[in-house]
């Protein structure tokens, strides 16, 4: 009842098993534990912890300003709130190879089920912006080998993200992906592919699980779950969707309160107290409380 009912180890095993089915796994972004609980309530396959959403929620741009301790703390809180596997974005691994190794062990301890490391130079940029700079293929492979070597739970998923599509073309991105698989990456995240044709070419060239990033306002065409499944993609993330939905609702609501002097016109658009309490399982906590404090002084 207190957060997830599954252990981190069991969630990792289940995540690995789900990947082997070939089914497309859908991971909406969750920027808070409460959002993760809502993702589970709606029957999705997993939860994604976006670096962009996390940094935005801290009032920072997505340029590598967050720290390992901040990301692990928020990621751990989100992972503990759900029985779904949580996959987290750790940007460039917070440094070089040794830093990436420490990052993996910190995330394991926090209860995450996997992460992805990217091949950008730090400070990084949002994957759908122009003028990104990359480390060499060899430097990224070394970081992946260090991350894999530091892993203590064999089921913790280590994914390599490549941002090479923009600067080195599709063939360059595929070459990097193959090198990262050779270095030990369990899965590949090819960032900012344009359309179905590029995903299909990547799928034909790379034999490990692939992730598709269906972020709004980016460089990738927004493909449906059926289209991605037909292409053989294994995981799809919607990284900042819930944050964007929430922020737009907040902006509209605050504007209405400022204009009208009350929130009365907005009540019908709100999650009710009863709905929130149901999600938080207030009644179960109350029963537990009565069972524990059942004595008289």
Q: Tokens in use for 249?
A: 């609702």
Q: Tokens in use for 95?
A: 């440094």
Give the closest residue to 88 by CA, choosing from 71, 101, 102: 71
Q: At what angle do helices 68-80 and 33-41 cross, to 10 degrees?
A: 40
What amino acid positions are annotated as catalytic residues? 48, 62, 89, 91, 116, 118, 126, 161, 191, 213
Residue in this structure with the two tokens 């991350």, named with its chain if needed: 147
Q: Tokens in use for 157?
A: 């998923």
Give the closest residue to 264 by CA, choosing from 256, 276, 272: 256
Helix (H/G/I), strand (E/B), else coil: 175: helix
Cα angle value 110/116/120 (rounded, 5°):
125
Whether the bond between 207 and the residue before it is cis, its omega within 30 degrees of 0, is no
């Amino acid at each position: 009842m207190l957060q997830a009912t599954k252990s981190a180890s069991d969630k990792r095993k289940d995540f690995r098993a789900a990947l082997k089915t070939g089914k497309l796994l859908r991971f909406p972004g969750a920027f808070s534990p409460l959002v993760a609980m809502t993702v589970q309530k709606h029957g999705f396959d997993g939860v994604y912890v976006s670096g962009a959403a996390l940094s935005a929620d801290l009032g920072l741009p997505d340029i590598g300003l967050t720290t390992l301790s901040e990301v692990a703390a928020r990621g751990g809180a989100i992972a503990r709130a759900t029985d779904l596997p949580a996959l987290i974005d750790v940007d460039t691994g917070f440094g070089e190879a040794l830093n990436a190794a420490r990052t993996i062990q910190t995330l394991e301890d926090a209860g995450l089920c996997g992460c992805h490391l990217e091949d950008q130079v730090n400070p990084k940029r949002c994957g759908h912006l122009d003028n990104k700079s990359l480390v060499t293929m060899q430097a990224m492979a070394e970081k992946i080998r260090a991350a894999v070597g530091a892993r203590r739970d064999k089921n913790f998923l280590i994914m390599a993200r490549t941002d090479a599509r923009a600067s080195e073309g599709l063939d360059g991105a595929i070459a990097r992906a193959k090198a990262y698989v050779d270095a030990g990456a369990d899965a590949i995240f090819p960032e900012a592919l344009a359309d179905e044709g590029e995903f299909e070419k990547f799928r034909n060239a790379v034999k490990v699980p692939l992730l598709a990033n269906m972020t709004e306002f980016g460089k990738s065409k927004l493909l449906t779950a059926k289209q991605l499944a037909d292409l053989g993609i294994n995981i799809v993330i919607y990284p900042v969707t819930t944050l964007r939905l929430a922020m737009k609702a907040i902006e509209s609501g605050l504007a209405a309160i400022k204009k009208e002097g009350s929130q009365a016109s907005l009540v019908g658009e709100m999650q009710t107290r009863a709905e929130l309490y149901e999600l938080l399982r207030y009644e179960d906590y109350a029963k537990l409380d009565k069972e524990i404090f059942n004595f008289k002084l």
